[in-house]
Structure 1
């Protein structure tokens, strides 16, 4: 079962969320941009509250929403589905060149992206750009690109019925063995194990604060 709950990001302002009592809720909302998987036990606990929320209005609906967010935030078995570099949020690297390259990689992750191409985009030589991105982000060009692609792959494994090979190629990986190897290295499990654990045996509740 998939349920979608959306609310405006200004519903809870920063001062409100900075209270110590709301630490776990604040952490949950920060992680939510990466996608979060919860166990079946957690889902079973909040589904009745989610259904009841549709019957609430005004102040009662706010209280019900806070109760749901609290239950999700204190769940001990949540897991983010992707790295932060996957999200569409603007990441400040204090470099227009790096931000331009990351924007390009996020928009074209499913296409062929080469070091030569992104170096030209940044107006630098391959050697200079390789050093520059490593210094600014702590990751190589390939590591950064793979994280973006793995984020999309993780979402597809959970939210689609495409085969693992289809997902790999749709996310820009032209070699299935390579995809399986780096996926396991990053996530500690194979794509099949990930899908079994988080798409079959477990459920997903998507909580999104809209702009």
Structure 2
């Protein structure tokens, strides 16, 4: 990895982002976005959670995550890299704009289309494909805009024709994950997913949708069958279920990492949704592995 790469700040061109993400333990949050993301880990190790998949990550890992797949990288508390950071990734993030449907129907883009389809479940890229793709990714920050686009298409073609991949999330997860045809409900879901650790302000959320607070709450309850705050607790508990698979984390830490203000409230909401205490849930998971 070139020494100057660390000093490059996130760059934006007309179609996609290429940059460096430097994180620490306090900043790692469960989140998702409406774009695709390819991440190459250059520093750090720990646990990677993508939807219902939890695995260890290490330098040299290459991960391709599809749209709206919740994920988080949790660095090992005891691990310290030479730079002092707990996590560094070189990443490529792009939306559907760079790969419109008119391109994907062309025979030359059949591998690209396959890569996007596989990314719906998230994937770890391994073997020769890992070496080939990561080599190009590390060069992307130094390329001119048009050259970057050409190499981006090459990356997607390489991934799409490769079998050197490991799918991360289960088919069952895709079947039951959140879907809606309502843009307003999708906007609420996105806001809650990305702000679950904060105090949710209904006034701010209603302004985001240009609705009165009462209208906002009625809309969400009618469309989903649950209240906004019940749904928020579901997001938190779903995340906590994943964190409980990591036995290096205490239940107290998991409570706060999941956005609950106190342990008692966490235990109450967790049992309400799973019919198990966090400790019982962890024991049940341990018996399955």
TM-score where L is the length of structure 2: 0.41
Question: Cα distance, 1:2 vs. partner?
Answer: 7.5
Counterpart residue number, 1:161? 248
**Map 1:31-42 → 2, pairs under 5 A:** none
Counterpart residue number, 2:177? 84
- What is the alpha-carbon root mean square deviation over aligned residues? 4.4
Residue 142 (str. 1) matches residue 235 (str. 2):
no
Moved over 4 A (4+): 6-11
SS at match of 1:178: helix
Deviations 1:40-93 (A, max 9, x none): xxxxxxxxxxxxxx9xxxxxxxxxxxxxxxxxx9xxxxx97xx734xxxxx224
Counterpart residue number, 1:99? 186
Residue 195 (str. 1) matches residue 282 (str. 2):
yes
SS at match of 2:196: coil
Question: Cα distance, 1:134 vs. partner?
Answer: 0.5
Question: Cα distance, 1:152 vs. partner?
Answer: 0.9
Greater RCO, CA 8 A, separation 6+: 1
Q: Which moved more, 1:121-130 or 1:110-119?
A: 110-119
What is the CA–CA distance in structure 2 between the aligned matches of 1:8 and 1:169, rounded to whole Å?
26
Question: Cα distance, 1:115 vs. partner?
Answer: 2.3
What is the CA–CA distance in structure 2 between the aligned matches of 1:133 and 1:150, rounded to whole Å?
19
The gaps in structure 2 that reach 5 residues or longer are 1-54, 58-62, 67-109, 112-119, 128-169
SS at match of 1:158: coil
Structure with the bigger percentage of strand: 2
Query: Between Structure 1 and Structure 2, how many residues are aligned?
Result: 157
**Map 1:178-193 → 2, pairs under 5 A:** 178-193=265-280
Contact 1:110 1:171 in 2 (8 A): yes
